[in-house]
Chains A and B, each alone.
Chain A
Amino acid sequence: MTTPSQADVRQTVLRLLGEIAPEADLALLRPDRNVREQLDLDSMDFLNFIVALHKQFGIEIPESAYPELTTIDGCVTFIRNKLAQP
Protein backbone atom coordinates (compact mmCIF):
# COMPACT_ATOMS: atom_id res chain seq x y z
CA MET A 1 0.00 0.00 0.00
CA THR A 2 1.29 3.48 -0.84
CA THR A 3 1.82 5.88 2.01
CA PRO A 4 -0.56 8.83 1.65
CA SER A 5 1.06 12.15 0.81
CA GLN A 6 2.01 14.66 3.46
CA ALA A 7 -0.73 16.98 2.22
CA ASP A 8 -3.40 14.26 2.44
CA VAL A 9 -2.40 13.29 5.97
CA ARG A 10 -2.28 16.93 7.04
CA GLN A 11 -5.74 17.56 5.62
CA THR A 12 -7.16 14.55 7.44
CA VAL A 13 -5.51 15.58 10.71
CA LEU A 14 -7.03 19.05 10.36
CA ARG A 15 -10.44 17.60 9.61
CA LEU A 16 -10.31 15.43 12.74
CA LEU A 17 -9.23 18.41 14.83
CA GLY A 18 -12.13 20.36 13.37
CA GLU A 19 -14.51 17.68 14.57
CA ILE A 20 -13.10 17.97 18.11
CA ALA A 21 -13.15 21.79 18.11
CA PRO A 22 -15.84 22.78 15.62
CA GLU A 23 -15.69 26.44 16.57
CA ALA A 24 -11.99 26.75 15.72
CA ASP A 25 -10.60 28.51 12.69
CA LEU A 26 -8.18 25.84 11.52
CA ALA A 27 -6.61 28.17 8.97
CA LEU A 28 -5.02 30.06 11.86
CA LEU A 29 -3.30 27.01 13.34
CA ARG A 30 0.48 27.01 13.42
CA PRO A 31 1.62 23.50 12.40
CA ASP A 32 4.71 23.62 14.60
CA ARG A 33 2.91 24.79 17.75
CA ASN A 34 1.08 22.77 20.36
CA VAL A 35 -2.50 22.21 19.15
CA ARG A 36 -3.77 21.65 22.68
CA GLU A 37 -2.75 25.17 23.57
CA GLN A 38 -3.90 26.69 20.30
CA LEU A 39 -7.33 25.05 20.40
CA ASP A 40 -7.73 24.88 24.20
CA LEU A 41 -8.12 21.11 24.07
CA ASP A 42 -8.41 19.36 27.42
CA SER A 43 -7.20 15.82 28.10
CA MET A 44 -10.56 14.35 27.06
CA ASP A 45 -10.49 16.25 23.75
CA PHE A 46 -6.92 15.12 23.15
CA LEU A 47 -7.77 11.50 23.91
CA ASN A 48 -10.71 11.71 21.50
CA PHE A 49 -8.32 13.09 18.88
CA ILE A 50 -5.90 10.17 19.44
CA VAL A 51 -8.78 7.68 19.14
CA ALA A 52 -9.90 9.40 15.92
CA LEU A 53 -6.37 9.15 14.45
CA HIS A 54 -6.22 5.49 15.43
CA LYS A 55 -9.54 4.74 13.74
CA GLN A 56 -8.90 6.86 10.66
CA PHE A 57 -5.43 5.53 9.85
CA GLY A 58 -5.64 2.11 11.51
CA ILE A 59 -2.42 2.64 13.45
CA GLU A 60 -1.48 1.76 17.01
CA ILE A 61 -0.62 4.79 19.14
CA PRO A 62 1.12 4.06 22.43
CA GLU A 63 0.80 6.62 25.23
CA SER A 64 4.53 7.21 24.97
CA ALA A 65 3.93 8.73 21.50
CA TYR A 66 1.43 11.34 22.75
CA PRO A 67 4.05 14.12 23.06
CA GLU A 68 4.89 13.71 19.34
CA LEU A 69 1.24 14.20 18.45
CA THR A 70 0.77 17.59 20.06
CA THR A 71 1.69 19.46 16.85
CA ILE A 72 0.26 19.04 13.37
CA ASP A 73 3.75 18.58 11.92
CA GLY A 74 4.44 15.91 14.56
CA CYS A 75 1.19 14.11 13.75
CA VAL A 76 1.93 14.05 10.03
CA THR A 77 5.45 12.68 10.56
CA PHE A 78 4.32 10.08 13.10
CA ILE A 79 1.42 8.85 10.99
CA ARG A 80 3.42 8.61 7.78
CA ASN A 81 6.24 6.75 9.56
CA LYS A 82 3.72 4.32 11.03
CA LEU A 83 2.02 3.77 7.68
CA ALA A 84 5.36 3.23 5.98
CA GLN A 85 6.24 0.42 8.37
CA PRO A 86 5.76 -3.05 6.87
Chain B
Amino acid sequence: MPILGADMEKGTLIAWKKQPGERVGKGEIIAEVETDKAAIEVESFTAGVIEKLLVKPGEVVPVGSVMAIIRTEGEVGAPPSGAVPSTAAPSVTVPPVTTTPLPSPAGTPEPGRLKISPSARQLARELGVDPAGVTGTGPDGAITRADIERMRGERVAAKKKETAADTAIDRQTRMRQVIAAAMARSKREIPHYYLGTSIDLGRAMAWLAEENGRRPVADRLLPGVLLIKAVALALREVPELNALWKGTEAVRSDAIHVGVAISLRQGGLMAPALHHADRQSLGDLMRKLQDLVKRARAGTLRSSELSDPTITVTSLGEQSVETVYGVIYPPQVALVGFGQVVQRPWVVEGRVEARPIVTATLSADHRVTDGHRGARYLAAVDRLLQEPERL
Protein backbone atom coordinates (compact mmCIF):
# COMPACT_ATOMS: atom_id res chain seq x y z
CA MET B 1 0.00 0.00 0.00
CA PRO B 2 1.77 3.12 -1.18
CA ILE B 3 1.75 6.27 0.93
CA LEU B 4 -0.37 8.75 -0.98
CA GLY B 5 0.00 11.79 1.19
CA ALA B 6 1.26 13.04 4.51
CA ASP B 7 -0.30 11.23 7.46
CA MET B 8 -2.00 8.59 5.33
CA GLU B 9 -2.01 5.46 7.48
CA LYS B 10 -4.18 3.04 5.55
CA GLY B 11 -6.23 2.50 2.44
CA THR B 12 -9.08 0.22 1.43
CA LEU B 13 -8.68 -1.93 -1.64
CA ILE B 14 -11.64 -1.34 -3.91
CA ALA B 15 -10.69 -3.61 -6.81
CA TRP B 16 -7.83 -5.33 -8.52
CA LYS B 17 -7.36 -4.30 -12.14
CA LYS B 18 -5.07 -7.25 -12.88
CA GLN B 19 -5.26 -10.93 -12.03
CA PRO B 20 -2.59 -13.57 -11.28
CA GLY B 21 -0.78 -14.56 -14.45
CA GLU B 22 -1.31 -11.21 -16.15
CA ARG B 23 1.66 -9.15 -17.30
CA VAL B 24 1.99 -5.59 -16.00
CA GLY B 25 4.21 -2.74 -17.09
CA LYS B 26 5.90 -0.28 -14.75
CA GLY B 27 3.42 2.49 -14.04
CA GLU B 28 0.44 0.45 -15.23
CA ILE B 29 -2.68 0.65 -13.09
CA ILE B 30 -3.06 -2.54 -11.05
CA ALA B 31 -5.53 -1.61 -8.35
CA GLU B 32 -7.98 0.97 -7.14
CA VAL B 33 -7.70 2.08 -3.55
CA GLU B 34 -9.95 4.24 -1.43
CA THR B 35 -8.13 6.71 0.81
CA ASP B 36 -9.65 9.21 3.20
CA LYS B 37 -9.42 11.82 0.45
CA ALA B 38 -10.41 10.01 -2.73
CA ALA B 39 -10.34 6.85 -4.78
CA ILE B 40 -6.85 6.48 -6.27
CA GLU B 41 -5.53 4.30 -9.06
CA VAL B 42 -2.44 2.46 -7.85
CA GLU B 43 0.37 2.00 -10.36
CA SER B 44 2.79 -0.92 -10.40
CA PHE B 45 6.27 -0.08 -9.12
CA THR B 46 7.81 -2.57 -11.49
CA ALA B 47 7.26 -4.58 -14.67
CA GLY B 48 6.56 -8.31 -14.50
CA VAL B 49 3.84 -10.88 -14.04
CA ILE B 50 1.32 -10.88 -11.20
CA GLU B 51 2.25 -13.85 -9.03
CA LYS B 52 -0.23 -13.51 -6.21
CA LEU B 53 -2.80 -11.10 -4.86
CA LEU B 54 -2.57 -10.95 -1.07
CA VAL B 55 -5.44 -8.63 -0.30
CA LYS B 56 -9.12 -8.92 -1.08
CA PRO B 57 -11.36 -6.06 -2.18
CA GLY B 58 -12.88 -4.39 0.85
CA GLU B 59 -9.87 -5.04 3.08
CA VAL B 60 -8.27 -2.14 4.94
CA VAL B 61 -4.52 -2.20 4.40
CA PRO B 62 -1.90 -0.27 6.44
CA VAL B 63 0.57 1.85 4.45
CA GLY B 64 3.67 -0.16 3.55
CA SER B 65 1.89 -3.54 3.57
CA VAL B 66 2.54 -5.90 0.66
CA MET B 67 -0.63 -6.17 -1.41
CA ALA B 68 0.54 -8.35 -4.27
CA ILE B 69 3.60 -10.23 -5.46
CA ILE B 70 4.88 -9.38 -8.92
CA ARG B 71 7.43 -11.70 -10.52
CA THR B 72 9.86 -9.43 -12.35
CA GLU B 73 11.31 -10.31 -15.74
CA GLY B 74 13.82 -13.16 -15.47
CA GLU B 75 12.62 -14.35 -12.07
CA VAL B 76 11.40 -17.92 -11.86
CA GLY B 77 8.30 -18.14 -9.79
CA ALA B 78 5.63 -20.53 -8.77
CA PRO B 79 2.62 -20.83 -11.01
CA PRO B 80 0.07 -18.17 -10.31
CA SER B 81 -2.21 -18.99 -7.47
CA GLY B 82 -4.36 -17.34 -4.89
CA ALA B 83 -6.67 -15.62 -7.27
CA VAL B 84 -9.04 -13.30 -5.57
CA PRO B 85 -12.34 -12.24 -7.06
CA SER B 86 -11.70 -8.88 -8.66
CA THR B 87 -14.59 -7.02 -7.17
CA ALA B 88 -18.19 -7.24 -6.28
CA ALA B 89 -20.78 -4.53 -6.53
CA PRO B 90 -21.54 -3.17 -3.08
CA SER B 91 -24.70 -4.74 -1.85
CA VAL B 92 -27.55 -2.55 -0.88
CA THR B 93 -29.80 -3.64 1.92
CA VAL B 94 -33.36 -2.87 1.12
CA PRO B 95 -35.68 -2.64 4.07
CA PRO B 96 -39.20 -3.87 3.65
CA VAL B 97 -41.50 -1.30 2.20
CA THR B 98 -43.53 0.31 4.96
CA THR B 99 -45.06 3.21 3.14
CA THR B 100 -48.45 4.37 4.24
CA PRO B 101 -51.08 3.29 1.75
CA LEU B 102 -52.34 6.13 -0.38
CA PRO B 103 -56.04 6.84 -0.33
CA SER B 104 -57.66 4.63 -2.91
CA PRO B 105 -58.61 6.49 -6.01
CA ALA B 106 -62.04 5.94 -7.46
CA GLY B 107 -62.36 2.56 -9.09
CA THR B 108 -59.67 0.94 -6.96
CA PRO B 109 -60.37 -1.79 -4.43
CA GLU B 110 -61.52 -0.93 -0.92
CA PRO B 111 -58.91 -0.96 1.85
CA GLY B 112 -58.60 -4.40 3.35
CA ARG B 113 -59.65 -6.03 0.14
CA LEU B 114 -56.38 -5.88 -1.73
CA LYS B 115 -56.72 -6.95 -5.32
CA ILE B 116 -53.55 -8.79 -6.13
CA SER B 117 -52.81 -11.90 -8.14
CA PRO B 118 -51.31 -14.92 -6.32
CA SER B 119 -48.22 -14.61 -8.48
CA ALA B 120 -47.73 -10.91 -7.55
CA ARG B 121 -48.36 -11.69 -3.87
CA GLN B 122 -45.71 -14.41 -4.00
CA LEU B 123 -43.24 -12.01 -5.65
CA ALA B 124 -43.98 -9.35 -3.02
CA ARG B 125 -43.17 -11.88 -0.30
CA GLU B 126 -39.91 -12.86 -1.99
CA LEU B 127 -38.79 -9.23 -2.46
CA GLY B 128 -39.95 -8.02 0.96
CA VAL B 129 -42.43 -5.57 -0.51
CA ASP B 130 -45.62 -4.78 1.39
CA PRO B 131 -48.39 -4.86 -1.27
CA ALA B 132 -50.49 -2.48 0.81
CA GLY B 133 -48.16 0.35 -0.19
CA VAL B 134 -48.27 -0.43 -3.89
CA THR B 135 -50.59 1.30 -6.34
CA GLY B 136 -51.99 -1.26 -8.76
CA THR B 137 -52.04 -0.57 -12.46
CA GLY B 138 -53.83 -3.76 -13.55
CA PRO B 139 -57.51 -4.15 -14.37
CA ASP B 140 -59.64 -2.37 -11.73
CA GLY B 141 -56.48 -1.27 -9.92
CA ALA B 142 -55.22 -4.79 -9.38
CA ILE B 143 -51.58 -5.08 -8.28
CA THR B 144 -49.48 -6.88 -10.86
CA ARG B 145 -46.01 -8.42 -10.74
CA ALA B 146 -44.76 -5.36 -12.64
CA ASP B 147 -46.13 -3.08 -9.87
CA ILE B 148 -44.25 -5.05 -7.23
CA GLU B 149 -41.05 -4.94 -9.26
CA ARG B 150 -41.46 -1.20 -9.84
CA MET B 151 -41.88 -0.56 -6.12
CA ARG B 152 -38.83 -2.67 -5.35
CA GLY B 153 -36.84 -0.69 -7.97
CA GLU B 154 -37.93 2.62 -6.46
CA ARG B 155 -36.84 1.48 -3.00
CA VAL B 156 -33.46 0.31 -4.28
CA ALA B 157 -32.91 3.60 -6.11
CA ALA B 158 -33.89 5.62 -3.05
CA LYS B 159 -31.59 3.57 -0.84
CA LYS B 160 -28.69 3.92 -3.27
CA LYS B 161 -29.17 7.69 -3.42
CA GLU B 162 -29.22 7.85 0.36
CA THR B 163 -26.07 5.71 0.55
CA ALA B 164 -24.29 7.88 -2.03
CA ALA B 165 -25.17 11.05 -0.11
CA ASP B 166 -23.95 9.51 3.15
CA THR B 167 -20.72 8.43 1.43
CA ALA B 168 -20.12 11.96 0.13
CA ILE B 169 -20.62 13.39 3.61
CA ASP B 170 -18.35 10.73 5.13
CA ARG B 171 -15.66 11.46 2.55
CA GLN B 172 -15.88 15.20 3.24
CA THR B 173 -15.50 14.57 6.95
CA ARG B 174 -12.58 12.21 6.43
CA MET B 175 -10.92 14.60 3.97
CA ARG B 176 -11.10 17.43 6.50
CA GLN B 177 -9.60 15.12 9.11
CA VAL B 178 -6.72 14.19 6.79
CA ILE B 179 -6.05 17.82 5.86
CA ALA B 180 -6.24 18.77 9.52
CA ALA B 181 -3.73 16.06 10.48
CA ALA B 182 -1.27 17.04 7.72
CA MET B 183 -1.52 20.75 8.41
CA ALA B 184 -1.27 20.29 12.19
CA ARG B 185 1.83 18.17 11.68
CA SER B 186 3.26 20.81 9.36
CA LYS B 187 2.73 23.63 11.84
CA ARG B 188 3.96 21.46 14.72
CA GLU B 189 7.13 20.19 13.08
CA ILE B 190 8.12 22.73 10.43
CA PRO B 191 9.49 26.12 11.46
CA HIS B 192 7.97 28.12 8.62
CA TYR B 193 9.33 31.39 7.35
CA TYR B 194 7.54 33.53 4.80
CA LEU B 195 8.76 35.87 2.08
CA GLY B 196 6.79 37.80 -0.49
CA THR B 197 7.50 39.87 -3.56
CA SER B 198 5.49 41.82 -6.13
CA ILE B 199 6.12 40.71 -9.70
CA ASP B 200 5.34 42.76 -12.79
CA LEU B 201 3.52 40.41 -15.19
CA GLY B 202 3.23 43.02 -17.96
CA ARG B 203 5.56 41.23 -20.35
CA ALA B 204 4.23 37.79 -19.47
CA MET B 205 0.58 38.78 -20.02
CA ALA B 206 1.33 40.57 -23.30
CA TRP B 207 3.31 37.57 -24.56
CA LEU B 208 0.52 35.24 -23.47
CA ALA B 209 -2.17 37.25 -25.29
CA GLU B 210 -0.11 37.16 -28.47
CA GLU B 211 0.68 33.47 -28.08
CA ASN B 212 -2.96 32.55 -27.42
CA GLY B 213 -3.97 34.56 -30.49
CA ARG B 214 -1.93 32.12 -32.55
CA ARG B 215 -3.24 29.01 -30.83
CA PRO B 216 -6.51 27.19 -31.54
CA VAL B 217 -9.11 27.62 -28.79
CA ALA B 218 -8.45 24.18 -27.34
CA ASP B 219 -4.68 24.78 -27.07
CA ARG B 220 -4.71 28.14 -25.32
CA LEU B 221 -2.64 28.64 -22.20
CA LEU B 222 -3.69 29.98 -18.83
CA PRO B 223 -1.41 32.42 -16.96
CA GLY B 224 -1.08 29.82 -14.20
CA VAL B 225 0.95 27.58 -16.50
CA LEU B 226 3.61 30.28 -16.87
CA LEU B 227 3.74 30.62 -13.09
CA ILE B 228 4.14 26.85 -12.61
CA LYS B 229 6.93 26.70 -15.20
CA ALA B 230 8.74 29.62 -13.58
CA VAL B 231 8.44 27.95 -10.16
CA ALA B 232 9.89 24.73 -11.59
CA LEU B 233 12.78 26.36 -13.45
CA ALA B 234 13.72 28.54 -10.48
CA LEU B 235 14.19 25.37 -8.40
CA ARG B 236 17.15 24.49 -10.61
CA GLU B 237 18.83 27.61 -9.27
CA VAL B 238 17.90 27.00 -5.62
CA PRO B 239 17.64 23.19 -5.42
CA GLU B 240 17.55 23.16 -1.60
CA LEU B 241 13.86 24.03 -1.85
CA ASN B 242 13.18 21.01 -4.04
CA ALA B 243 13.59 18.45 -1.29
CA LEU B 244 11.76 16.11 1.06
CA TRP B 245 12.32 15.93 4.81
CA LYS B 246 13.26 12.37 5.76
CA GLY B 247 13.85 11.57 9.43
CA THR B 248 16.31 14.20 10.52
CA GLU B 249 17.42 15.78 7.28
CA ALA B 250 16.25 17.11 3.94
CA VAL B 251 17.02 14.98 0.91
CA ARG B 252 17.16 16.88 -2.36
CA SER B 253 15.19 15.52 -5.27
CA ASP B 254 16.83 15.28 -8.67
CA ALA B 255 13.45 15.51 -10.36
CA ILE B 256 11.17 18.53 -10.08
CA HIS B 257 7.57 17.45 -9.57
CA VAL B 258 5.32 20.41 -8.88
CA GLY B 259 2.23 19.65 -6.81
CA VAL B 260 -0.66 21.87 -7.87
CA ALA B 261 -3.33 22.68 -5.30
CA ILE B 262 -6.69 21.90 -6.89
CA SER B 263 -9.90 22.77 -5.10
CA LEU B 264 -12.56 20.10 -5.41
CA ARG B 265 -16.04 21.19 -6.34
CA GLN B 266 -17.58 19.38 -3.38
CA GLY B 267 -15.06 21.01 -1.00
CA GLY B 268 -11.54 20.20 0.12
CA LEU B 269 -8.44 20.09 -2.02
CA MET B 270 -5.76 17.85 -3.46
CA ALA B 271 -2.28 18.69 -4.70
CA PRO B 272 -1.21 16.11 -7.31
CA ALA B 273 2.09 16.34 -9.16
CA LEU B 274 2.91 17.67 -12.58
CA HIS B 275 5.89 15.41 -13.15
CA HIS B 276 9.15 16.93 -14.44
CA ALA B 277 7.47 20.31 -14.74
CA ASP B 278 10.79 22.01 -15.52
CA ARG B 279 11.24 19.90 -18.66
CA GLN B 280 7.76 20.29 -20.14
CA SER B 281 6.82 22.77 -22.83
CA LEU B 282 4.09 25.22 -21.84
CA GLY B 283 1.67 23.44 -24.17
CA ASP B 284 2.39 20.07 -22.57
CA LEU B 285 2.11 21.53 -19.08
CA MET B 286 -1.26 23.04 -19.97
CA ARG B 287 -2.60 19.75 -21.33
CA LYS B 288 -1.35 17.86 -18.29
CA LEU B 289 -2.76 20.43 -15.91
CA GLN B 290 -6.17 20.22 -17.61
CA ASP B 291 -6.06 16.45 -17.33
CA LEU B 292 -4.97 16.61 -13.68
CA VAL B 293 -7.76 19.01 -12.71
CA LYS B 294 -10.32 16.87 -14.52
CA ARG B 295 -9.15 13.66 -12.88
CA ALA B 296 -8.74 15.21 -9.42
CA ARG B 297 -12.38 16.27 -9.58
CA ALA B 298 -13.50 12.94 -11.01
CA GLY B 299 -11.59 10.98 -8.35
CA THR B 300 -9.28 9.16 -10.76
CA LEU B 301 -5.82 10.35 -9.73
CA ARG B 302 -2.91 7.92 -9.79
CA SER B 303 -0.79 6.94 -6.84
CA SER B 304 2.43 8.51 -8.17
CA GLU B 305 0.68 11.83 -8.67
CA LEU B 306 -0.04 11.99 -4.96
CA SER B 307 3.20 10.56 -3.64
CA ASP B 308 5.69 12.41 -5.88
CA PRO B 309 5.34 16.21 -5.45
CA THR B 310 8.55 17.87 -4.33
CA ILE B 311 7.04 21.36 -3.91
CA THR B 312 3.50 22.75 -4.01
CA VAL B 313 2.07 25.74 -5.87
CA THR B 314 -1.19 27.27 -4.79
CA SER B 315 -3.04 30.17 -6.34
CA LEU B 316 -5.97 31.96 -4.78
CA GLY B 317 -5.98 34.88 -7.17
CA GLU B 318 -9.34 33.97 -8.62
CA GLN B 319 -10.85 34.37 -5.18
CA SER B 320 -9.55 37.97 -5.17
CA VAL B 321 -6.87 37.16 -2.61
CA GLU B 322 -3.75 39.24 -3.08
CA THR B 323 -1.33 37.40 -0.82
CA VAL B 324 -1.15 33.71 0.12
CA TYR B 325 0.60 32.55 3.27
CA GLY B 326 0.64 28.81 2.60
CA VAL B 327 1.22 25.89 4.94
CA ILE B 328 3.92 23.51 3.72
CA TYR B 329 2.69 20.02 2.89
CA PRO B 330 5.05 17.59 4.64
CA PRO B 331 7.45 16.04 3.83
CA GLN B 332 7.99 18.88 1.32
CA VAL B 333 10.03 21.84 2.48
CA ALA B 334 8.52 24.70 0.49
CA LEU B 335 5.31 26.05 -0.99
CA VAL B 336 4.83 28.92 -3.42
CA GLY B 337 1.65 30.98 -3.39
CA PHE B 338 0.28 33.39 -5.96
CA GLY B 339 -2.42 35.97 -5.44
CA GLN B 340 -4.64 37.92 -7.79
CA VAL B 341 -3.15 39.76 -10.75
CA VAL B 342 -4.08 43.39 -10.11
CA GLN B 343 -3.40 46.61 -11.98
CA ARG B 344 -1.03 48.72 -9.91
CA PRO B 345 0.96 51.90 -10.47
CA TRP B 346 4.50 50.76 -11.26
CA VAL B 347 7.61 52.71 -12.11
CA VAL B 348 9.03 51.73 -15.49
CA GLU B 349 12.11 53.60 -16.72
CA GLY B 350 11.31 56.60 -14.57
CA ARG B 351 7.62 56.78 -15.48
CA VAL B 352 4.63 55.60 -13.51
CA GLU B 353 2.47 53.15 -15.48
CA ALA B 354 -0.41 50.83 -14.69
CA ARG B 355 0.97 47.28 -14.78
CA PRO B 356 -0.48 43.84 -13.94
CA ILE B 357 1.16 42.86 -10.66
CA VAL B 358 1.02 39.56 -8.82
CA THR B 359 2.24 38.89 -5.29
CA ALA B 360 4.31 35.73 -5.05
CA THR B 361 5.01 34.28 -1.62
CA LEU B 362 7.32 31.56 -0.44
CA SER B 363 6.62 29.48 2.64
CA ALA B 364 9.78 27.57 3.45
CA ASP B 365 11.18 25.25 6.09
CA HIS B 366 13.79 27.05 8.19
CA ARG B 367 15.46 23.73 9.04
CA VAL B 368 16.44 23.47 5.38
CA THR B 369 16.92 27.00 4.04
CA ASP B 370 17.14 30.51 5.35
CA GLY B 371 15.68 33.77 4.16
CA HIS B 372 18.65 34.55 1.96
CA ARG B 373 18.16 31.44 -0.19
CA GLY B 374 14.42 31.95 -0.18
CA ALA B 375 14.87 35.51 -1.43
CA ARG B 376 17.18 34.27 -4.19
CA TYR B 377 14.52 31.83 -5.19
CA LEU B 378 11.73 34.42 -5.46
CA ALA B 379 14.06 36.69 -7.41
CA ALA B 380 14.66 33.83 -9.86
CA VAL B 381 10.90 33.32 -10.29
CA ASP B 382 10.53 37.05 -11.00
CA ARG B 383 13.40 37.07 -13.50
CA LEU B 384 12.05 34.04 -15.37
CA LEU B 385 8.63 35.68 -15.71
CA GLN B 386 10.25 38.70 -17.35
CA GLU B 387 11.32 36.44 -20.24
CA PRO B 388 8.12 34.50 -20.95
CA GLU B 389 9.26 33.47 -24.42
CA ARG B 390 12.02 31.41 -22.78
CA LEU B 391 9.76 29.50 -20.43
Residues of A within 8 A of B (CB): 21, 23, 40, 42-44, 47-48, 50-51, 54-55, 60-63
Contacts and interface: CB of A to CB of B under 8 A. Distances in A.
B266 interface: yes
8 contacts: A40-B265, A42-B263, A43-B222, A43-B223, A44-B293, A47-B222, A51-B218, A62-B213
Number of contact residues on B: which range applies? Answer: 10 to 19
B87 interface: no
B75 interface: no
Given A50-B217, A51-B217, A44 B222 contact: yes
B213 A63 contact: yes
B220 interface: yes
Nearest to B263: A42
B217 A60 contact: yes
B318 interface: yes
Interface string B235-276: 000000000000000000000000000010110000000000
Contacts of B218: 51, 54-55
B224 interface: yes
Contacts of A55: 218
Contact of A61 (B217, B222, B223, B293): B217
Interface of B: 209, 212-213, 217-218, 220, 222-224, 263, 265-266, 289-290, 293, 318
Contacts of A63: 209, 212-213, 220
Contacts, number: 30
A51 B213 CA distance: 14
A53 to B, nearest CB: 9
A40 B224 CA distance: 18
Given A40-B265, A47-B220, 6 more contacts: A23-B265, A42-B318, A43-B222, A43-B223, A44-B290, A44-B293
The interface residues of chain A, by DSSP majority, are classed as helix
Contacts of A61: 217
Contacts of A54: 217-218
A61 B209 CA distance: 13
Nearest to A22: B265
Contacts of B222: 43-44, 47
A50 B220 CA distance: 11
A43 B217 contact: no
Contacts of B209: 63
Nearest to B215: A63
B319 to A, nearest CB: 9
B125 to A, nearest CB: 40
What 6 A-B pairs come out closest when comparing CB atoms? A54-B217, A51-B218, A44-B293, A43-B222, A42-B318, A63-B212
A50 B289 CA distance: 17
Nearest to B220: A47
B180 to A, nearest CB: 23
Contacts of B265: 21, 23, 40
A64 to B, nearest CB: 9
Nearest to A51: B218
B167 to A, nearest CB: 15
Nearest to A63: B212
B320 to A, nearest CB: 11
Contacts of A47: 220, 222
A44 to B, nearest CB: 5
Contacts of B224: 43
A40 B384 CA distance: 31
B23 to A, nearest CB: 36
Task: Specify which of B220, B290, B318 lies most central, judged by the most chain A CB atoms within 10 Å of its CB.
Answer: B318
A55 B218 CA distance: 9
B207 to A, nearest CB: 13
